[in-house]
């Protein structure tokens, strides 16, 4: 059997997740080869090799994968037919192509939960805008595109009949709007041997207009019973998917402390960035351990932490400048991660800041300071 150092790992996608995965892989002397459509992607100058090409094109993905021993992803919108062909030829592909196909279609994903008795919000499949209008009994509701949704795109809140005009005129689903107490995420990992570990739940706060995570806290402010239930559900999802790799499971906690799965992502995730500083093992190292079938790492939280997404400011498009960087770096427990993106635009993810502090009240104060001080402008 080849050592992990002698295997070529190919990653479809060269964004910030790939960048942080490479940073972790350096500790294991793992060579990572990147394919991305953007010639200036964040991974451009730090991978072993960097190839430019469409992730959805069969020939491009197949040709890239032929030279690799193991393939993984940092985005779901990839050509899974090419991955299936490579898998049939003996290449290892984690997460498996069938798992990617299921997860990148939100209708298939929701049906999977129902068929496997995984708690989730009530929903109905729709063919387009006219079909959504027939589901008025679901109001207030959320309309989601079946495919192509990412980073807050492809999701539309429909509160009243007047909002029905906002519905997507494409296949998807409508979901009953959950009156939740909080939104949490649990990241789980599973290796080829079937070993499963879960990171402690984190609590997420979303940007009021961009539908992106603005900041999060670890640990989540939930009861021990809810924590145990959330971890149990997340482990159940990855087990029933029979998936190898890292899975982020986003969930709602209802007013009566029921835990419902919202959606999942089969890769390192925004809700796990803080694990680099805050946990014994980071999500990126855990993903590598899982796909190389190594023993999974200890996921315990070292100390309370928060993660603030650094988004491009509204009204600013062009070459990025980082206002307030020195001020936040002068604050104890602050770790800044910039993603190597030269150009900013409104709400573009340009970096993140992890803050650690034993005192929760002080941690929350530092979050507000970072949010108010560090700005991406032109």
**209: Cβ–Cβ under 8 A, 6 or more apart, which residues?**
none
- Each residue of 101-122: pLDDT tens digit? 999 999 999 999 999 999 999 9
Summarize pLDDT for 260-306 with one digit per residue, the tens: 999 999 999 999 999 999 999 999 999 999 999 999 999 999 999 99
Q: Please say if the pLDDT value at position 334 is more than 90.
A: yes
Cis peptide bond N-terminal to 182, omega within 30: no
pLDDT of residue 151: 62
Confidence (pLDDT) at 300: 98
Question: What DSSP character marks residue 94?
Answer: S
Provide the pLDDT for residue 212: 73
pLDDT tens profile 192-227: 999 999 999 999 988 766 667 888 999 999 999 999
Structure tokens at 327: 């001020």
d(CA 93, CA 173): 29
What interhelical angle do 16-25 and 283-291 show, nearest 10? 70
What does the pLDDT read at residue 209?
Answer: 66
Domains and CATH numbers, the chain: 4-93 (3.40.50.20), 122-176 (3.30.1490.20), 180-377 (3.30.470.20)
pTM to 2 decimal places: 0.95
Could you read off the pLDDT of 36-45 as tens digits, one per residue? Answer: 999 999 999 9
Taking only Cα atoms into account, the Rg of the chain, rounded to an integer number of angstroms, comes to 20
What pLDDT digit, counting tens, does each position of 166-198 carry?
999 999 999 999 989 999 999 999 999 999 999
**How confident is residue 371, by pLDDT bands cut at 50, 70 and 90?**
very high
pLDDT at 254: 96
pLDDT per position as a tens digit, 77-110: 999 999 999 999 999 999 999 999 999 999 999 9
Neighbours of 300 (CB within 10 A): 11
- Can you give the pLDDT at residue 2? 80
Q: Is the pLDDT of residue 152 over 70?
A: no
Q: How far apart are CA 364 and CA 334, in angstroms?
A: 12
Output the pLDDT for position 259.
98
> Residue written as tokens 């200036």?
40
Decide if pLDDT at 150 tops 80.
no
pLDDT of 159 reads: 93
Name which of 265, 263, 257 is nearest 179 in CA terms: 257
Average pLDDT over residues 125-130: 94
How much is the pLDDT for 180?
A: 92
Distance CA 311, CA 244 (A): 31
Q: Given this model, what pLDDT does residue 210 score?
A: 66
pLDDT value of position 214: 83
206, 249 in Cβ contact below 8 A? no
Task: Please state, in angstroms and rounded to a whole number, the distance separating the CA atoms of residues 351 and 74.
Answer: 16
């Amino acid at each position: 059997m080849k050592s992990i150092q002698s295997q070529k790992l190919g990653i479809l996608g060269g964004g910030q997740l790939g960048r942080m995965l490479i940073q972790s892989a350096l500790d294991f002397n793992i060579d990572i080869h990147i394919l991305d459509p953007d010639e200036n992607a964040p991974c451009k100058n730090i991978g072993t090799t960097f190839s430019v090409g469409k992730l959805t094109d069969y020939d491009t993905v197949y040709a890239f994968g032929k030279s690799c021993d193991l393939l993984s992803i940092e985005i779901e919108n990839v050509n899974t037919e090419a991955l299936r062909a490579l898998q049939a030829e003996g290449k290892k592909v984690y997460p498996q192509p069938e798992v990617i196909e299921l997860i990148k279609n939100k209708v298939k994903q929701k049906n999977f939960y129902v068929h496997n008795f995984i708690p989730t919000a009530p929903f109905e499949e729709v063919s387009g805008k006219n079909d959504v209008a027939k589901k008025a009994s679901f109001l207030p509701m959320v309309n989601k595109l079946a495919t192509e949704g990412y980073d807050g795109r492809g999701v539309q809140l429909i509160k009243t009949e007047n909002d029905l005009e906002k519905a997507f005129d494409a296949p998807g689903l409508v979901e009953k709007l959950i009156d939740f107490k909080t939104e949490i995420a649990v990241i789980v990992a599973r290796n080829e041997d079937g070993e499963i570990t879960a990171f402690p739940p984190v609590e997420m706060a979303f940007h009021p207009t961009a539908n992106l995570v603005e900041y999060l806290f670890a640990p989540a402010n939930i009861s021990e019973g809810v924590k145990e239930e959330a971890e149990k559900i997340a482990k159940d999802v990855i087990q029933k998917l029979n998936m190898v790799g890292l899975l982020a499971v986003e969930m709602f906690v209802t007013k009566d402390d029921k835990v419902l799965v919202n959606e999942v992502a089969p890769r390192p995730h925004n809700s796990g960035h803080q694990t680099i500083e805050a946990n014994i093992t980071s999500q990126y190292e855990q993903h590598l351990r899982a796909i190389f079938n190594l023993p999974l790492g200890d996921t315990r939280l070292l100390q309370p932490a928060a993660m603030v997404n650094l988004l491009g400011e509204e009204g600013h498009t062009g070459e990025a400048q980082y206002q307030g960087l020195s001020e936040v770096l002068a604050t104890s427990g602050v770790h800044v991660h910039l993603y190597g993106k030269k150009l900013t635009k409104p709400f573009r993810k340009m970096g993140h800041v992890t803050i650690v502090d034993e005192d929760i009240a002080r941690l929350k104060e530092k979050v507000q300071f970072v949010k108010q001080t560090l700005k991406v402008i032109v």
